[in-house]
């Protein structure tokens, strides 16, 4: 394989031109039928102009595609054929790297090593370096937020404990539109693709480990990448599409073979409303742990039933705002995904499609610790079932806008100490919820032990909680003062 | 499954109260502290080098009190460590030896210096070695008692005569501190008869209440 590698270098100049694309396909030379004949062809071509070099001492892998000082590599007679036949230039651009033919091969090699530190020629070390470069790049994803936005200025005031200046700031910030989604990816690794052959090969395999796109054109480019360059791709462990509304289902289907493998763990189509992840991906990728499809209009029960049998390792399922999903789809997931830990079914529309049936199925069949059921028609019974089966493990609950919930849901369960590990509770606009005392007591107990708990109650519930907390604070002070007074007046007590 | 659920203990606050002990050498500051914290009295004199400190926790139903007592060496050379004992203290106990009138006189200077570092602390004026004092000439007793009452009045500090060796009024000192800090009603009757171990506190040391009450809210919870 090594002998064939230098021949690929011919394509480097071209690959550099498109180096900013997400995946650099290295286009092979013009005429080829299959890989074998192509290699032969290239071998012939590479030998023809400079016959005194045999293939093995052609450009070493670590030679820069662009010489740092081209002047020192000016050709004598080697220049002439290039100028005469410009078509060859593309293929033999690496010839530039060679000092004129008079100098012997030995000195050639010496010269090259003088401007390349050996660590940049050792594949293992280069791979390490490039992995560090890759570690800087960020997969586009939703920014985790600390708190939800306030609902109104008066709510901001409640959150900021009456500090008007802070509240005003918070409120104006929240009314501004979010531009934060423009997560631009640092293309550092893509530049590494055009350094030299060694770097290209290593960088390409690292780049393709995690495929993420914020531009549909690049997905198309990947879909049309020639099969030859595909052999150099790694099997990706993550496949993320971020807000690609223009991408068509056909484009996505074309990418499926590149994406699917046993290594694939994370599939995300973040707000890509009109495309569905191709079912074959799931059939071939049995280790998917994270499936994130928020805001998808096409995901429905039928689709979930189709893919669920292949998702036996699934841990995270995000189906926010997938309005078409109903209890049936969730049931098929819960029966097939026993390892599920995070399940988000929150929605604004079609809330009646998700009922306590889903919740009970999740509670009984999975290892769920985070449940998002915002806007769903779940009932107290569902929450109780969840508490009975998963209570000690539940960490986060999002129950915003669940209009069927009453005081007998979370407040009663918290009073009975059923959710000892709850750390985030979202109960905005749960209109029948009026008894916040157990929630406040829970938060205070946790806080006293240094464990923060976040309760998002929205304006009404936040205000209620503040009042209750104030009252509890007063009662507590009164109790403490009574104890002190008793001690002060007791002759016996030391 | 219900057995898996760990029950949450009720949150309990600990009120940390720092107290500074200040006064001339050999008046019995360290003795008082050790007596209160460990309930031990040692006749032997050990000079305090710099600052000693001991803490005592009082566990009550809904909260704990942690007395953090700083005892400053009485020699003049330790005056530069006065901030250590007085800054941040909720109460400062000024001690004098009932058998040595000059130690009472020094209180004036100690008080001036200490309030320079901490105006908020509740001051207490404590006369020590009452067990020896009670055997002295009644005229002397009366003189010292009246003198100390005038000092207490001027400092707006509760006045307590105590005996560490005989355990007289030792506990009271700390109970008065809490009563003054949190504006509590203390029912123990005052002792105003000259010759008795004086205990005068009801109308003294209350003017700083508002300031000390606000500082008490900074209690740490554990």
Do A253 and A299 belong together in one domain?
yes
Nearest to A420 among B8, B62, B63 (CB): B8
Q: State residue A290 phi and psi, 5-degree precision.
A: -135, 120
pLDDT of residue B19: 93
Residue A8's nearest CA partner among A198, A172, A164 is A198
pLDDT of residue A178: 52
Do A81 and A172 belong together in one domain?
no
Q: Give the residue-averaged pLDDT of B196-208.
A: 80
Structure tokens that stand for B106 in this block: 């020094």
Answer with the residue of higher pLDDT: A119 or B209.
Answer: A119
Domains of chain B plus CATH, in order, are 13-216 (3.40.50.300)
CA distance A277 to A272: 10
pLDDT of residue A64: 58
Residues in B closer than 8 angstroms to A486, CB to CB, are 60
Do A322 and A374 belong together in one domain?
yes
pLDDT in tens, A77-100: 444 444 444 444 455 455 454 444
Helix (H) / strand (E) containing A144: none
CA distance B32 to A217: 83
Do A248 and A379 belong together in one domain?
yes
Residues in A closer than 8 angstroms to B1, CB to CB, are 388-389, 391-392
Helix (H) / strand (E) containing A30: none
Å from B90 to nearest chain A CA? 16
pLDDT at A260 over 60: yes
Nearest to B62 among A444, A480, A494 (CB): A480
SS3 for B142-170, per residue? HHHHHHHHHHHHHHCCCEEECECCCCECH
Q: Give the residue-averaged pLDDT of B141-146.
A: 91
Q: A7-21, A460-474, B4-18: which has the minimum mean pLDDT? A: A7-21
Share of chain B above pLDDT 70, in %: 87
Do A368 and A437 belong together in one domain?
yes
Query: Which site among B7, B9, B11, B177 would you substitute to test the A interface, given the most A Cβ atoms closer than 10 Å to its Cβ?
Result: B11
Query: Which site among A363, A420, A480 would you substitute to test the B interface, given the most B Cβ atoms closer than 10 Å to its Cβ?
Result: A480
pLDDT at A25 over 70: no
pLDDT of residue B203: 83
B217 touches chain A (CB under 8 A): no
**A44 in a structural domain:** yes
pLDDT band at B185 (very low <50, low <70, confident <90, very high): confident
Residue B25's nearest CA partner among B123, B100, B80, B135 is B100
Do A157 and A106 belong together in one domain?
no
pLDDT at A109 over 80: no
Q: Give the residue-averaged pLDDT of A397-423.
A: 90
Residues in B closer than 8 angstroms to A444, CB to CB, are 11
Query: Which site among B175, B191, B199, B214 would you substitute to test the A interface, given the most A Cβ atoms closer than 10 Å to its Cβ?
Result: B175
Do A163 and A267 belong together in one domain?
no
Nearest to A392 among B5, B39, B62 (CB): B5
Query: Which residues of A sit within 8 Å Cβ distance of B?
Result: 388-389, 391-392, 417-418, 420, 442, 444-449, 476, 479-481, 483-489, 491, 494
pLDDT of residue B9: 52
pLDDT band at B157 (very low <50, low <70, confident <90, very high): very high
pLDDT band at B105 (very low <50, low <70, confident <90, very high): very high
Question: Where in chain B does DSSP place strands (E)?
Answer: 13-23, 51-59, 63-72, 91-97, 122-128, 159-161, 199-200
Do A159 and A236 belong together in one domain?
no
- CA angle, residues A337, A338, A339, in degrees to nearest 5: 90
B220 touches chain A (CB under 8 A): no
The A290-292 sheet, strands edge to edge: A210-213, A238-242, A266-270, A290-292, A316-318, A342-344, A370-372, A396-398, A424-426, A454-456
What percent of the residues of chain B are helix, what percent strand, and what percent coil, each to the nearest 5? 35, 25, 40
CB pairs under 8 A between A and B: 75
Do A431 and A323 belong together in one domain?
yes
pLDDT band at A394 (very low <50, low <70, confident <90, very high): very high
Q: Which residue has the tokens 């009801």?
A: B202
DSSP A34: S
* Beta pairing, strands B159-161 & B63-72: unpaired
pLDDT in tens, B43-57: 888 888 888 889 999
Nearest to A483 among B5, B10, B61 (CB): B61
DSSP A299: -
Q: Give the residue-averaged pLDDT of A237-253.
A: 84
pLDDT of residue A238: 86
pLDDT of residue B125: 94
**A297 in a structural domain:** yes
Do A348 and A225 belong together in one domain?
yes
CA distance A62 to A93: 15
pLDDT in tens, A300-322: 899 999 888 888 889 999 998 88
**A187 in a structural domain:** no
Å from A459 to nearest chain B CA? 27
pLDDT of residue B89: 92
Number of domains in chain A: 3
pLDDT of residue A139: 66
Which residue segment(s) compose the domain that A305 sits in?
Answer: 216-464
pLDDT of residue A298: 87
Q: Give the residue-averaged pLDDT of A24-48.
A: 42
Do A345 and A258 belong together in one domain?
yes
CB contact under 8 A, B61 and A488: no
Do A288 and A221 belong together in one domain?
yes
**A472 in a structural domain:** no
Q: What's the CATH code of the domain at A345? A: 3.80.10.10
**A399 in a structural domain:** yes
């Amino acid at each position: 394989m090594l002998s064939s590698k230098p021949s690929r270098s011919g394509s480097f100049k071209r690959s550099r031109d498109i180096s900013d694309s997400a995946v650099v396909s290295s286009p092979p030379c013009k005429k080829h039928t299959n890989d074998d004949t192509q290699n032969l062809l290239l071998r012939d071509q590479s030998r023809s102009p400079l016959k005194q070099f045999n293939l093995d001492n052609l450009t070493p892998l670590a030679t820069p595609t662009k010489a740092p000082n081209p002047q020192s590599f000016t050709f004598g007679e080697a220049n002439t054929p290039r100028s005469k036949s410009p078509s060859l230039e593309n293929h033999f651009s690496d010839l530039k790297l060679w000092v004129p033919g008079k100098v012997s091969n030995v000195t050639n090699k010496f010269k090259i090593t003088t401007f390349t530190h050996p660590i940049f020629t050792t594949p293992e070390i280069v791979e390490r370096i490039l992995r560090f470069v890759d570690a800087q790049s960020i997969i586009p994803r939703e920014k985790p937020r600390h708190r939800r936005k306030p609902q109104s200025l008066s709510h901001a005031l409640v959150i900021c404990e009456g500090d008007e200046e802070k509240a005003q700031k918070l409120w104006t910030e929240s009314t501004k539109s979010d531009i934060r989604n423009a997560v631009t990816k640092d293309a550092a690794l893509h530049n590494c693709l055009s350094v030299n052959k060694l770097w290209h090969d290593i960088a390409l395999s690292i780049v393709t480990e995690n495929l993420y796109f914020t531009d549909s054109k690049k997905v198309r480019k990947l879909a049309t990448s020639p099969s030859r360059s595909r052999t150099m791709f790694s099997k990706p462990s993550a496949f993320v599409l971020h807000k690609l509304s223009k991408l068509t289902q056909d484009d996505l289907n074309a990418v499926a073979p590149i994406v699917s493998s046993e290594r694939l763990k994370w599939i995300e189509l973040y707000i890509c409303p009109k495309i569905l992840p191709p079912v074959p991906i799931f059939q071939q990728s049995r280790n998917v742990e994270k499936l994130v499809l928020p805001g998808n209009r096409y995901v429905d029960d039928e689709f979930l039933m189709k893919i669920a049998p292949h998702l036996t390792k699934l841990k995270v399922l995000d189906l926010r705002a997938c309005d078409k999903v109903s209890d049936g789809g969730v049931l098929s997931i819960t029966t097939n995904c026993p390892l599920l830990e995070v399940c988000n079914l929150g929605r604004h529309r079609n809330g009646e499609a998700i009922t306590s049936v889903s919740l009970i199925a999740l509670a009984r069949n999975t290892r769920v610790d985070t449940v998002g059921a915002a806007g769903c028609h779940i009932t107290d019974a569902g929450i109780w079932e969840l508490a009975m089966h998963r209570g000690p493990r539940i960490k986060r609950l999002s129950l915003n806008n669940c209009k069927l919930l009453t005081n007998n849901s979370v407040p009663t369960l918290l009073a009975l100490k059923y959710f000892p590990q709850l750390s985030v509770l979202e109960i905005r606009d749960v209109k029948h919820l009026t008894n916040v005392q157990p929630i406040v007591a829970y938060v205070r107990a946790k806080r006293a032990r240094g464990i923060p708990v976040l309760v998002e109650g929205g304006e009404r519930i936040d205000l209620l909680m503040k009042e209750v907390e104030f009252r509890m604070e007063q009662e507590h002070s009164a109790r403490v003062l009574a104890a002190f007074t008793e001690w002060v007046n007791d002759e016996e007590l030391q | 499954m219900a057995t898996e659920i760990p029950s949450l203990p009720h949150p309990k606050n600990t009120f940390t109260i720092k107290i500074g002990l200040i006064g001339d050498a050999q008046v019995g500051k360290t003795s008082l502290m050790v007596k209160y914290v460990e309930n031990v009295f040692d006749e032997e004199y050990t000079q305090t080098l710099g600052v000693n400190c001991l803490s005592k926790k009082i566990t009550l139903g809904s909260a704990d009190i942690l007395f953090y007592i700083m005892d400053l060496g009485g020699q003049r050379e330790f005056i530069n460590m006065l901030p250590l004992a007085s800054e941040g203290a909720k109460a400062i106990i000024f001690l004098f030896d009932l058998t040595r009138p000059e130690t009472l006189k020094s209180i004036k200077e100690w008080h001036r210096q200490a309030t320079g570092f901490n105006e908020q602390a509740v001051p207490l004026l404590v006369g020590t070695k009452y067990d020896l004092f009670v055997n002295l000439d009644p005229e002397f007793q009366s003189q010292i008692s009246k003198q100390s009452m005038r000092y207490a009045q001027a400092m707006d500090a509760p006045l307590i005569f105590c005996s560490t060796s005989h355990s007289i009024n030792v506990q009271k000192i700390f109970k008065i501190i809490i009563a003054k800090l949190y504006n509590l009603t203390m029912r123990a009757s005052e002792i105003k008869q000259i010759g008795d171990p004086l205990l005068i506190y009801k109308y003294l040391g209350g003017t700083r209440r508002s300031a000390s009450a606000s500082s008490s809210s900074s209690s740490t919870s554990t």
